[in-house]
Structure formats: C-alpha cells, structure tokens
A and B are shown apart, each in its own frame.
Chain A
Amino acid sequence: MSGLLEEAKALVAGCDRCGTCLTVCPLFKVRDVERSSARGKNALARGLAEGGLEPGPEVRGAVEFCLLCRACTDACPNKVPTDEAMVRVRQHLTDRAGGPTVTYRLVGAALRSRAAVGLGALALGALRRLGLLRLLPSALVPKEFPRKAFLAAFAGPAALGGEAPAATPGAHARVAYFQGCGMKLMFPDAAEATLKLLGGLGEVSAPDNPCCGLPHLAHGMKGTFLELARENIALFEEADVVVTDCASCGGALKHLADHFKDDGAWRDRAAAFSAKVLDLTEFLVRAGYRSPSRGERTFTFHDPCHLARGQGIRRQPRQLLEAAGRFVDMREADTCCGGAGTFHMDHPGTAARILARKASSIEATGAEVVVTACPGCLIQLTRAAEASGGRFKAMHISQVI
C-alpha cells in the first residue's frame, strides 16, 4: 500500500460511519447518493487502502467529487478530516497514473508561470490560445476582458469615497501583500483596492509572488506545490506580516508548515512563514481599521470555506461590514457556493445547483451586495448576481469597506 493511502486510512480511522455528515454535505444536498457524502468518501479511502476497491476512472471521479469544504468535518462528532484524506487519495491516484489529467497539468502549468498569470489580460489570451478558455468562468471572461464595465459594476464605497484613514498597524510592521492567482487574473481591481487599504495603514510591499500551490496540491501535484512553497517562503522572509485577500491562499499558506515538518532544512523557515500569514479581514480588524464612512448599502456575507472553517475567521468580515453599511446575515452563510477551485469546471451542473441554493439565500436577505473574501467564491457569486437580473451584486470585501 502506498504511504499516501496509509495516511488517508489513518486520517479516516475515526469515521464511525454514523451518517451525521450526510445532513451537511452540500454535494449530498444536490446528489444524495452515498459516494457524494463524507461517509462514502471515507469508506472509499479505506476500501482502496484495504484492497477492496480497484483504482480506476470511477474511483478517481468519486474522489474528485468533493468541494474540500470541510462542512462534514465541522459537523462530524469525531472531526474526521475528509478533505485531507481526499487530497491524499488524489495524490496517490495521480502518482499511480503518472501525473494528473491533462487539464490539471495545463492549468497547473499556467498558474506556475508567473508571467502568464501576471500579465492578466495577456494571460487570458494565452490561455485562450491553449484552448483553455472554457476553464475560465464564462461570466467573467466575455470576448474581451471588460475592465471598464467591470469597474462600473463593481465600484464599491471604497472606490467612490476618499482614502482610508491611516490607522496604527502593529508598530511599523513590514507588511507584505500576497497576491493570489485568482485575484491577479480575475479581480485586479479588488486586488488594487486591497493594496489601497493596506497602503492606508502604513508601508506595504508587494513582491511578485508565485501561486500558493493549493490547486496543485488539491489535484495531486505535490512536488510542484512544495517547489512553489519554498519560493514563497524565501520571497517573504523579510516581511513581518504577510496579508492576503484570498481565503484559499491564506488557508494554504497558514498550513505550509505542516508540509515541511520532516524537512530539517525548511522546517523552521516554513513555520516562521506560516505564523505570519493573515487574512485581510483579520489584519484590518487587528490593525484597528475604520471605514471612512458608513454607507446606506445593505450587505450580506458569504463565508468562504477556506476562511470560516479553514481559518476560523467568521467574526472579522462581519464586523468590517457592519461598520461599512447595513449588514444582514443569510441562511447557510457558510455553506460552499460550489466554486471550490476547479470543481465548478469539472462538474458544472452540480455546481450550478449548489449555487442556485446560495442565490436564493442571498435573495432572501434583500441585500444589494453579497460580499466575500475569496476570488473562487467571487466567480461563483458573480455568476449568481448576473443570473439574478440585477437583484444583487457580488463584490470582494476590499471593495466595499
């Protein structure tokens, strides 16, 4: 048995097959068969490890069919980390098959290339030439990247109003901005707003960082993930605080240390790095940020999985939004929106059904703007906003506070 399967088996050993997770898994809500649920996935991991199942395309499909949203772990009496087990199994299947599927390899390569990501619109062109455009969210990438239209639609109070007043961040900390690929590629304006917010609080550097590696890790390209991690650790060595406005990057970076536990050369550097990563909302609340003015807009907040369950951050974004306008919480605010990395591309139908549930929760609040803190979620929510026919808009938190 491979070490990875052994690890996966150990991770799910606490699964009592009770079924509590069946009631919370967003995938089970839209496709209620055993394999969708965490119980089903954990059994699958054990089945593979114990030789009761032969790996094949069907098994692969089943382990890919997970949002890695951790709703199950949260509800599970034994806190079984199904998502971590699935990542191990994916890695195992990838290693076995001699590499990830072509699609993931291409996306992985594109995300690795700083140039390709950094050039924004150009990168989109490059991806289009590679025939990868279908992988990008169609709602966000019409024929040409509609920068102007985008700006007009998404201008939040922060963009309209004055500069954020300088507050006192942790006395002269050297703050560095970690820009995720999603933010760079899809939401350059939100990224700009983040920089503006951070700049209002003191000196900020923005090194040209590569991808956090989460997509690679999630799809069984651990080698690439580790390379990227080392690059990032070295790149941010000088910073005291590393702030990111992407929940997924934040979650991944905060956990980098775990992957270097047994690596003598990198263990301490990785731990130091992980310890200084903060989500934007976490940083702003700590730094005592105040909104320049309280607007009349009604906001609701969608908790990214990687923020709420991944990092335990639920209060901070709400606190910031309450200060910036009227805030209404929605039903199932922390239920996955169906984006989940590349999930929405691999399973568009399922993702759409999950999103429809989310959209109805948003509409029920009557909020004008649904705010979130992860580009992955923002892609999905933008889609929902478009489908809502203008009933609400979707924005990144840096654009509205």
Chain B
Amino acid sequence: MSVTTLSDELRLIVGRDHVLDGEVDRFGYSYDSSFLPLVPAPRPDVVVRPRTAEEVSRVMALAFAGGIPVTPRGAASGRTGGSVPLHGGISLALDRMTDILEVDEGNMMVTAEPGVRTMDLHDACAARGLFYPPDPASWKFSTIGGNVAENAGGMRAVKYGVTRDYVMGLQVVLADGTLLETGGKAIKNVTGYDLTGLFTGSEGTLGVITRVLLRLIPLPKARGVLRLLFADMDAGCALVHRMLKAGIVPSAAEIMDDVSLQAVARHRRMALPAGAGCCVIIEVDGEDAAELEAQCGRIRGVAEACGCLEFKVAQDKAESDELWAVRRGLSQAVAALAPNRLGEDISVPRDAFPEVVRRIGAIAKRFDLLIPVFGHAGDGNLHPSVLCDMADPAQAERVHRAVDAIFEAALAVGGTLSGEHGIGITKRPYLAQALGEAGVRTLQAVKAGLDPKGILNPGKIW
C-alpha cells in the first residue's frame, strides 16, 4: 500500500486534522526523551491521533491487514526510546484521548482514557479526597497510558508501590484490532492468567491501551517534607536503611550525591553548608500534624545517629513545594552540566544501594568520567547519569564501556536493568544478561502469540 493511500484511509477513520504526514510532523514524532541521537531520525510514515477506542481498533485492523508497523505514543517522555518508530509505519499518538470517564468513590476507583496526564488524574481524584499515589517525576506531562505501558514508578514507591500496584483492569486493542477487556472492579480476581499484569509494563509491544481502571486509596490528610544533609552517600544510605529497619516508612526518600547536589544548588541559587556531600529528601504523610511530628522526631533521632549535618523541616506549603522542586528539577539540573548525558535507571535490592553507589564511583574513576548518582533510595532505584561530550569519539567509547560496567554492577549485586524506564531501544543489548535465555524466549513466545505479524512496536525490548 502506498503512503498516500494509507494516509487517506487513516483520514477516513480519524478525520483529516488528525493524520499528519508532512516532513516536519514526521520528524516531530521520531524522538522521545531518551538519549538516542536525533539524527538520523527514525520517522514514521504517518502520525495518527485517534479519539476513541473504536478508532484505535479500526487503525489496528488496517495496519494488521497491511502488515504495517505501529508504535503507540503517549507524551514521548519515555527515557528508553519506547515511542520511537524504529521501523517507520504508523506513530499512534494517544494524547487526544484525555477524558477521565468515572471517579467511583464507592469502590475507590477511577476509569480514564490513556492520554490523561498523570497529574490531572491525580488532581481529579484528590478533589474527592482520593489518592492516586504513583508520581513519576514526569507526572506533569507524561500520560497515564504511557505510565501503565512502562509500569512507571515514582517518588512515593517506597511506601505506596508503582503503577502496577494500582492497575485493576485495562481495555486493550490487540494487534489485529480486537478489543479486549481485562480485570475489573472486583478486588479479588484469579480468573485465568493475569492479563492486566501482562499488559502493564509491556511497552506498547503487546497491545494498545485504550482505557485504564485504577485503584485509589484515601488521601493522607497531612504531609510534611524534610531535607537532610550528610557528608557523604554512605551516611545518607545508612539513614535510609536504618529508618526503614526501625519501621519508619516515609512516603518518599530521595537521595542525591555531591555532584547532583551542587548542580541543583547552582540551578536554584540555593546556599549549602560546607561539607555537604549528600542530600536526602524525605516526605512523610499521615492523619494529622501530631502524627507527622512524631514521625519527624523519630527520623531526627536516626539522622543524628548517622551524622546528619543539617535537618530541615519545611514549615509551610511553599517550603515543601520548594524542597520537592529541588528533587523534580534534579534530572535536568544534572543534564545542564555537560553537552550530553546518558541518564541510566537501575534498580538493586535496598541493602545493596551503598555498595552499588561505591561501584559506580569506581567506574567513574576507571573511565575518567563524571557520573553523578541520585535516586529513590527508599526502593533501591537509582539514576547514575554519565556526563559527557559524545562529539568526542574517544570519550564516547569510554562512555559506552562505562554504561556496560554500570549494568554489570547492578546485576552483580542482585539488581536489574530498569527500575522504571523500561527496556525500549537503549537497553536491548543487556536483556539476555538480565533475564537469561529462557526468560527472553518466554517473552518472545508471549509476543508471538499476541502479535503474530510483529507489527506492534517492533524493534523494542529485544
């Protein structure tokens, strides 16, 4: 089928304005927020922006008949190239499907279309006293469909878990256009395989998510934010470790090393006490101020035992927002330090956190690179950022070897390749190492069963 007829057929399905096939638009849908080079751009032949599940289904049926690759796309905030249309074909942008269909207060659940922004979903629920906890740092712009497809995690994962822990059911359009409903509002559900779980984190390779049903919990009434400074990462890690062991579970515990800390300090014109080489930002929540105060008091005790240099409790909403802004702006502040940055995302058992940080420090030395580390200390997920100038070929070579070494280090301490960003394109080479041959073959068997022609997001994961 020629490109023009494909566009025309698609226009019949979604309307003229929602099919883009000009040069500039095709380029605009060729990248995401990963660190893949922009040029050469893996352009889609055409961008389609459906409004309903039915339209998605018709688009898929058409693609299936013609054997045309389809790459689903939310907000393209993914960090591993998931929405990059590696093999051309159709870029299926779901960002026009933005309705929150139902907030079911009785069952404490929400039903939404995939293009709803995570923050909007959170706010709509919070307005009714209900809480949707997963809050990836990209929550202002990433879509809930993208979050489910990546099984995104957030700052609050240490206490509340990740996206998967809230997905109750999905509506999915399969490769041939069939509409499938999985899960439902029944809390206990063991009827057959866990299809909801299967599509969650499938990175757009098994089906297109067109509706999500999410579980909610009561909104904590009070929330407090703390900033703790330590001399080094070991002290910071020790705090997180001992705190959790003592049964204090904060809703978030974010850690950053000296380079990251300096970067944000400069970015936000913040003054720091001398000798501060590690910062931990903690959020606690609870029923009321008294409960928060009690938690803060206990954390202070542990912190002092770990040699805390400064213990700051946000006094009001503005101060809390400021402390959070420090963490949320971190990834970009670090990126601003060098022409290029390869932000990685590895996850290790919680007690291996200090060890892997030490190993990464050694890797930085060995390859003569600056590799600041920050992450979700509470859950063992960390983001080493290799700062570099990829225009320098000798350095680029060192960078690739350093990244390999980082993944090796993660696996060596019993960790995994990705805590939250998925595999996409950028981590494909390491997959077999992490899952083993049998693991990869099993994934491939599932894929072959659901997408026999291999048209859904080809080139990803393996």
Contacts and interface: CB of A to CB of B under 8 A. Distances in A.
A35 B95 contact: no
A53 B28 contact: no
B20 A33 contact: yes
A121 B335 CA distance: 53
Given A18-B332, A34-B76, 13 more contacts: A16-B331, A17-B76, A20-B141, A22-B141, A23-B141, A32-B95, A35-B28, A44-B27, A47-B38, A54-B23, A59-B24, A77-B267, A78-B332
A14 interface: yes
Q: Is the interface of A mostly helix, strand, loop or mixed?
A: loop
15 contacts: A13-B339, A16-B33, A16-B331, A18-B33, A20-B140, A20-B141, A23-B117, A34-B76, A35-B25, A35-B28, A51-B39, A76-B332, A77-B267, A77-B333, A78-B335
Interface in B317-365: 329, 331-333, 335-336, 339, 341
B39 A50 contact: yes
Contact of A19 (B28, B38, B76): B76
B27 A43 contact: yes
A58 B28 contact: no
Interface of A: 13-14, 16-20, 22-23, 32-35, 40, 43-44, 46-47, 50-54, 56, 58-59, 61-62, 76-78
Interface residues of B, number: 34
B142 interface: yes
B41 interface: yes
Nearest to A41: B28
A168 B138 CA distance: 51
A18 B23 contact: no
Contacts of B142: 19
A43 B336 contact: no
A131 to B, nearest CB: 30
A34 B33 contact: no
A56 B27 CA distance: 14
A52 B24 CA distance: 11
B296 interface: no
Interface in B22-48: 22-25, 27-29, 31-33, 38-41
A54 B22 CA distance: 12
Nearest to B76: A19
A33 B141 contact: no
Contacts of A23: 117, 140-141
B94 interface: no
A12 B286 CA distance: 43
A234 to B, nearest CB: 38
A67 B435 CA distance: 49
B141 A18 contact: yes
A35 B329 CA distance: 24
Contacts of B39: 46-47, 50-52
A52 B33 contact: no
Contacts of B332: 16, 18, 76-78
Interface string B262-306: 000001000000000000000000000000000000000000000
Contacts of B117: 23
Interface string B111-153: 0000001000000000000000000001011100000000000
A18 B33 CA distance: 5
Given A35-B25, A62-B24, A52 B41 contact: yes
B212 interface: no
